[in-house]
Structure 1
Amino acid sequence: MQKFKRKVFYLGGFDPRGVRFYHHLYREQAARHAALTGDPIDVSARRAGPASSAIWTVENPAAGVETDYEYLRWEDLVGKVWVRNPLTLAWRSIATYVGHARFMQFKRMKRLRPGPVLTICYPPFLAVMIPLLFALIPALLLWTVLPFWAAALIGIGVSAAFSGKWLTKLVVPWLLRFTYYHHGLAARGPGEALDERLDLFARRIVAELDGPWDEILLVTHSAGTILGMSLMRRIFDLRGDRLPDHFAMVGLGQVVPVIALRTDARWYHADLKALADKHFRYVDLSYPPDGAAYFNVNPFLLEGEAHAARVDMLSPRFHLFYRPENHNKGWSNKYEAHFDYLRVGDSVSPVDFISLTAGPRRLDDAIAAFRAIP
């Protein structure tokens, strides 16, 4: 039987963990998928790719599928701007939220999806209130039996010992870093290093468009959905106005409005406008309870009234494929819930990450099978 050959390019989000973490995650989820279906999936060791990338081969012999999976690396650039010192992060967050107050179209954002507005706004509030409460409550209680200075010092010590754990549990530091980085990205553009990296990725994808593939997917996740739009513009600049019919772009947990709704991000508005008349396939999978994602927000309509791309906007409906006790939900699980797009649930979905990248269905067939689920 002739193999179905798929090429996947994966562009991840703002995460310094990089390829080792994501290769391990893919192997783990492939094994989970195999356990649920009974069909083994073999994931090779990773090897260096030709364009700041890492490649591994995914074999699904029962389905006759072979996937060449290419992870587009930019974690080194993330690591250079990943603020580790909490005091530095707090100071930079002040400028970040001043910038958002000046340039972010919060009213429009709220009309699109109110959840992400809360996700952007709650971190600075909690970053102040949680340390303050951890210091103030024990200090006031101890002040009844100790001098004020002693009670205050103990309160500060209690806050230093416990507030960081709670802030981390509520994803505050990660969201502050994310917001700080994208404030700078909106205001100043990608910068020389990221510009060069996106150009490299575009050349690499264009080089494979006429390769021996039955399907080519550009899969973007989280902040990668923002960069994916700029990457698509560069692909069209290199390739011309039409891509092969077997190429498609998939956005997981899409966050494009984080930049597109900044009035100062004119460079990004130009990228979106440039895609308005381009013909290609785009599928958006964003989950309504994911407070970071913009479910049912078509990114191509943020800077225009029409588009030529063939677009599907879908929820992956994780609640149908997880048992309630295993379903990531609630404030303390926001970060993990945002990674469910890359996981397999307690039952297999036609559009879970392994099914899309290693399964036997083409993208449109997977979407049709998913839509048929009650």
Structure 2
Amino acid sequence: MTRPFRRHVLYLPGFDPIPPRRYRELYRREGAEQARISGHRIKLSGARQGPNFGWTVDAEIEGRPVAATFEVLQWTDIVQASMGRGILGTYGLMVRTFWIYMASGAVPRLMRLRRGPVLAAFYPFAVLLAQLLAAVLAAWLVAWALPLGWFALPPALAAFWGVLVLGRRLDGRLFAYYLMHDYAFTAVQKGAYPPALEDRLAAFRRRLSDLLDDDLDEVLVIGHSSGAYLAVSLLADLLRERPARARPALSLMTLGHVVPMAAFLPDADRLRDDLGYLSRASGIFWLDVTAPGDACCFALCDPVAVCGMGDDRQKWPLVVSAAYTQTLSPERLARLRNRWFKLHFQYLCAFDRPGDYDYFAITAGPLPLAERFAGRKPSPGLITRPVGARP
């Protein structure tokens, strides 16, 4: 009987306050759909408990058996703690975040790369300001309708606050507060990692180091969105501590990265150094996947080069496009139109016209990442100009 290919996947989510079980259910649902389309056999079982929630997958893809274990590297509690501010606190964060990005000169440099993610970043500012203006208008209307002089002030203030509270309660649909806290989490530290996150990265590094001593064929680290740059720092820390060995293969896949949003800030020296170090590292394979159809990422921007950390020794990452216009049917693209979050998470989902990027073949298939993408050239349209270089 053929020994299954053994892989351990460490998935590092972005700024996400929702418990990690959602990622198992997403994998279950989308994996079944990809299996139907591509002829894979994918079976999920069990739920790994402990500090990092996970699950196991038994699969047969491309004619070979695979046994994969998934772990979600959790920092949900840190995200939730950072979102604990109320309405007034969020507006204070909005002002502070806007000032930091503008005063540091990050915004014009980001605009020189991709306007889409920068305009998307202005969305929560626009929504929160619109809610504030609506609250002011409601207060004025109440005061005008009740010509009671100073006695009209309490009902006017109640109307003002009521509109703001309504806006907060609608955030499950609008996501303005969520996104504001996302950008503020990075901005208030000016690109540095807060101590709680540094401690968590150290715990992740210990877990990754332990896995490299197991009887595995590949350890695959996946970072999505802001989790992409955390994954870069995680691997850079590990490789500084211990060099990679031939087995198990150590691979990194970054999906839908927003690296410049952090690395262009003035105190992001740690991240910039990690990018430069990892780009020259031996013993790993680093694949970066983005899509121009994802307005929330810096599509086809080499995260090392655009931050000014590339040089003639740079080997990584291999930057490829998920090419939504080719890998998704027109009907599916039509259903996803203007659904920013869905498009930003499409990397973790099924493609009805899959190309060489197939999340389920990569995570539950029988080939290490380096072998699967051997000889692959970067996608056309690659952006490497170092607009985020330090002066």
Q: CA RMSD in A?
A: 3.3
Whether the 8 Å contact between 2:171 and 2:178 is mirrored in structure 1 is: no
Tell me the CA shift for residue 230 of structure 1.
1.3
Residue aligning to 1:103: 104
Whether the 8 Å contact between 2:244 and 2:250 is mirrored in structure 1 is: no
Aligned equivalents of 1:264 and 1:254: distance in 2?
A: 19
Query: Which amino acid in structure 1 is aligned with residue 14 of structure 2?
Result: G
Tell me the CA shift for residue 153 of structure 1.
8.5
Residue aligning to 1:79: 80
Tell me the CA shift for residue 219 of structure 1.
0.7
Is residue 354 of structure 1 aligned with residue 367 of structure 2? no
Is residue 269 of structure 1 aligned with residue 276 of structure 2? no
- Structure 2 SS opposite 1:278: coil
Query: Which amino acid in structure 1 is aligned with residue 113 of structure 2?
Result: L
Is residue 223 of structure 1 aligned with residue 226 of structure 2? yes
> Can you give the 5+ residue segments of structure 2 that lack an aligned partner in the other structure?
380-391
- Structure 1 SS opposite 2:318: strand
Whether the 8 Å contact between 1:351 and 1:370 is mirrored in structure 2 is: no
> Can you give the 5+ residue segments of structure 1 that lack an aligned partner in the other structure?
none
Q: Which has more helix, going by share of residues? A: 1
What are the equivalent positions in structure 2 for 1:1-374 lying under 5 Å apart?
Answer: 1-49=2-50, 52-61=51-60, 63-83=64-84, 85-130=86-131, 132-133=133-134, 136=137, 159=163, 163=167, 169-186=173-190, 188-191=192-195, 193-240=196-243, 246-279=249-282, 280-301=284-305, 302-306=307-311, 307-327=313-333, 329-331=336-338, 333-364=339-370, 366-367=372-373
Structure-2-length-normalised TM-score: 0.81
Deviation string 1:75-102 (CA, Å, 9 cap, x unpaired) is 1221211236333212222112112222
Q: Structure 2 vs 1, CA of residues 175 and 308 (structure 1 numbering), >3 Å: closer, same or farther? A: same
Q: Structure 2 vs 1, CA of residues 340 and 242 (structure 1 numbering), >3 Å: closer, same or farther? A: same
Query: Which amino acid in structure 1 is aligned with residue 286 of structure 2?
Result: Y
Tell which deviates more after alignment, 6-15 or 37-46.
Answer: 37-46
Aligned equivalents of 1:269 and 1:286: distance in 2?
A: 20
Whether the 8 Å contact between 2:192 and 2:269 is mirrored in structure 1 is: no
Aligned equivalents of 1:308 and 1:44: distance in 2?
A: 40
Aligned equivalents of 2:52 and 2:199: distance in 1?
A: 14
Structure-1-length-normalised TM-score: 0.84
Query: Which amino acid in structure 1 is aligned with residue 351 of structure 2?
Result: G
Aligned equivalents of 1:157 and 1:197: distance in 2?
A: 38
Tell which deviates more after alignment, 247-256 or 342-351.
Answer: 342-351
Q: Structure 2 vs 1, CA of residues 215 and 241 (structure 1 numbering), >3 Å: closer, same or farther? A: closer
Aligned equivalents of 1:201 and 1:154: distance in 2?
A: 47
Query: Which amino acid in structure 2 is aligned with residue 227 of structure 1?
Result: L
Whether the 8 Å contact between 2:276 and 2:310 is mirrored in structure 1 is: no
Question: How many residues get paired?
Answer: 366
Aligned equivalents of 2:37 and 2:59: distance in 1?
A: 14
Q: What is the percentage of aligned positions where both structures have the same residue?
A: 28
Deviation string 1:237-284 (CA, Å, 9 cap, x unpaired) is 221377758222100011111111012222323333333432232111
Tell me the CA shift for residue 223 of structure 1.
1.0
Aligned equivalents of 1:124 and 1:190: distance in 2?
A: 23
Q: Structure 2 vs 1, CA of residues 7 and 22 (structure 1 numbering), >3 Å: closer, same or farther? A: same
Query: Which amino acid in structure 1 is aligned with residue 276 of structure 2?
Result: K
Aligned equivalents of 1:91 and 1:326: distance in 2?
A: 40
Tell me the CA shift for residue 368 of structure 1.
6.6
Aligned equivalents of 2:252 and 2:8: distance in 1?
A: 12
Query: Which amino acid in structure 2 is aligned with residue 357 of structure 1?
Result: T
- Structure 2 SS opposite 1:300: coil
Aligned equivalents of 2:262 and 2:17: distance in 1?
A: 20
Aligned equivalents of 1:31 and 1:276: distance in 2?
A: 35
Deviation string 1:106-127 (CA, Å, 9 cap, x unpaired) is 2221112121221222321231
Tell which deviates more after alignment, 270-279 or 225-234.
Answer: 270-279
Whether the 8 Å contact between 2:186 and 2:192 is mirrored in structure 1 is: no
Tell me the CA shift for residue 324 of structure 1.
3.4
Query: Which amino acid in structure 1 is aligned with residue 110 of structure 2?
Result: M
Query: Which amino acid in structure 1 is aligned with residue 54 of structure 2?
Result: I
Query: Which amino acid in structure 2 is aligned with residue 54 of structure 1?
Result: F
Aligned equivalents of 2:206 and 2:15: distance in 1?
A: 22
